[in-house]
A and B are shown apart, each in its own frame.
Chain A
Amino acid sequence: MTDTAIVASSATEYAGRSPLARASNAFVSRLVIIVPYLWLLFFFLVPFIIVFKISLSQTAIAMPPYMPVLGFGEGLSGFWGQLKQLSIDNYLWLTEDALYFNAYVSSVVIAGISTILTLLVGYPIAYGMARAPATLRPTLLMLVILPFWTSFLIRVYAWIGILKPEGLLNQFLLATGIIDQPLIILNTHTAIFIGIVYSYLPFMILPLYSALEKMDFSLIEAAQDLGCPPISAFWKITFPLSIPGVVAGCLLVFIPAVGEFVIPDLLGGSQTLMIGKTLWNEFFANRDWPVSSAVAVILLLLLVVPIMIFQHAQARAQEQGR
């Protein structure tokens, strides 16, 4: 075989194999992107559109309990007619009754306070874990995640047993003589704070831990070497470097806490006003699907802002490569 022949044969081989390989590569990489998009489409966007459509409907004593029910049974013009019946009355209704506004505000306030409390409790724990001997850290992480092995509902129920007037906590405090009247904790905001802090603590600890654990301890030594006492070094070095973890942890607690229903219902008693509970009542007690859907849509819009802050912070942290 001459040199030219070799070149020619390898050239055809190259030409024969490469486009196919490239095409299949492109297909695989597109598939990888498509799967999560399909997931979001079917399990987030489609349900949201359904909820949004219901929120524009009116209640009816029917099955399902609202109208119009969209369909092509009466042809395209019938469908058009159904669409025309949709209105924003439910949203207007939400603005007319102060209950909803108060519930939204109260939810945000309760979630906000709970988030700050969770941060105050979670930061020292995460810091201690990050500074623990490397051999101990997996065990500590395991202990943080361990509560997830039991049902969330059961753990919240357990708090009723602890917090109620004749519960474990009061029995202990009475027996040790610290108090002579049982503390009323259950069915107050305090109980909600305890419940949220307890339930969401792992979501705070994990991102904080991952931010603190990455930090090079010699930075603290360098700060001290340059004349900075330890507490000041914490505020000047450790805390600023853990801010991505603080932001992530706070949003992971705040976002679900705003819509929280189980904890205020079980621990907060009947007088607690939170949007999750209001939504539950509209849906199950009043069977007013359209209004509860409108409540849900507004709640979602309310949460989009912190979620976008979270996304932005994540992207920036990734960009910085730390």
Chain B
Amino acid sequence: MKSLGSIRRSFAPWSDPAAKPYIVFENVTKRFGDFTAVNDLSLSIFEREFFALLGASGCGKSTLLRMLAGFDEPTSGRILLDGQDLRGIPPYKRPVNMMFQSYALFPHMTVENNIAFGLKQEGMAKSDIEKRVAEMLKLVKLEQFAKRKPHQLSGGQRQRVALARSVAKRPKVLLLDEPLGALDKKLREETQFELMDLQQELGLTFVVVTHDQEEAMTMADRIAILDKGEVMQVATPTEVYEAPASRFVAGFVGNVNMFEGKVASRDAGSARISGGNGLTIKTENAGDASAGSDVVFAIRPEKIKVSSKKPTDAEANVAEGEIYDIAYLGDMTVYHVRLADGQVVKASSLNAVRISEDPLSWNDRAWISFRPDAGVVLTR
């Protein structure tokens, strides 16, 4: 497992200017009647990448996947796979396979016949099919279920049959439509890691559609965040979380506190933001915000410290408030601190000690503080 992790870390073809993208969406637009599902979208995905399309329902992520599989054709624009324009190529001739959200297992066929279905279409020799099916069954640990029909399996087992069926043909690209959507939370978490291992083992390019940000963050090399048929940001999970490109992305992925304000002064990377509430925030991540412009300062709750005494750190941004609400989650506690102007700030702190000696309580006076590098300035 450790070696996989190190492979994963060193894998970053998107930052290599010489690398050639494997899948390219070029100004793709898709309209259904009056409704624009995908709007002038461009996107590049690299070979062996685990790429996630993340967005709320109706953002166009499934349409992108269906266009890649060949079930829908773009209204305009091009989709290239390994340099080949996919337009006009029917689904049954594309070198991609899809794992359906409903699994779409053939109910009248046994597990092994489901897995063998695509191989038979290829006209593979019978003995080779048997070998490949056995290999696939082993891969998803369903050897003893080969003769069962789909309705005799549990949800998790069906999911694995669907997965085995879709990778059996060794497609160039595997498309996964909400692959874990129908599983319960525990099973979902386990399966996330199984999928990642499988992708490494087979060396395939995975494009996964999901609305679950945790799922995307855990599994994907890069995430494209979509909204109303447009790409909001394409970046690694860390970048998406720590350096969101816009308010939408910051708000969509994880929890965030946002302070509205004006850039009072700036030099090099740092700036001072003065909020309408009289608060001035020093930040080192000013991005391209120009002096005098209206911006938002975004900071994640876990980057904010809450204390009952005024912090002594001179560098830190400090504000006084009152504990408004406390959510104890076991592993951490989320404090809702109301500042003087009424804005409620969320701050989470890890419960590293079993029982705190100096617990904060409702309506206590409290101080929030964060370092200048803890948040980012968003201009969009």
List A residues at the B interface (Cβ < 8 Å): 216, 218-219, 221-230, 232, 236-237, 240-241, 320-322
Contact = CB atoms under 8 A, between A and B. Distances in A.
Given A223-B117, A225-B69, A226-B169, A218 B92 contact: no
Contacts of A321: 151
A227 B100 CA distance: 15
Nearest to A217: B104
B11 interface: no
B118 A226 contact: yes
A167 to B, nearest CB: 46
B90 to A, nearest CB: 7
Contacts of B118: 226-227
Nearest to A215: B107
| B interface, over-half SS | mixed
Interface string B108-119: 100000000110
Interface of B: 69-71, 90-93, 96-98, 100, 102, 104-108, 117-118, 121-122, 151, 165-166, 169
29 contacts: A216-B102, A216-B104, A218-B100, A219-B106, A221-B71, A221-B91, A221-B104, A222-B104, A222-B106, A223-B106, A224-B71, A224-B90, A224-B92, A225-B69, A225-B91, A225-B92, A225-B97, A226-B97, A226-B117, A226-B118, A226-B121, A227-B92, A227-B93, A228-B121, A229-B90, A320-B151, A321-B151, A322-B107, A322-B151
A240 B70 CA distance: 25
A240 B100 CA distance: 21
Contacts of B69: 221, 225
A241 B91 contact: no
Given A216-B104, A219-B107, A240-B108, 18 more contacts: A216-B102, A221-B98, A221-B104, A224-B92, A225-B92, A225-B96, A225-B97, A226-B121, A226-B165, A227-B118, A227-B122, A228-B121, A230-B92, A232-B121, A237-B106, A320-B151, A321-B151, A322-B151
Contacts of A240: 108
A224 B69 CA distance: 10
Closest 7 CB pairs of A and B: A226-B118, A227-B121, A222-B104, A218-B104, A224-B91, A224-B92, A225-B98
B100 A241 contact: no
Nearest to B116: A226
Contact of A221 (B100, B121, B151): B100
Nearest to A240: B108
A147 B106 CA distance: 37
Contacts of B117: 223, 226, 228, 236
B92 A219 contact: no
A106 B100 CA distance: 51
B121 A219 contact: no
Contacts of B108: 240-241
A245 to B, nearest CB: 13
B64 to A, nearest CB: 15
A274 B190 CA distance: 68
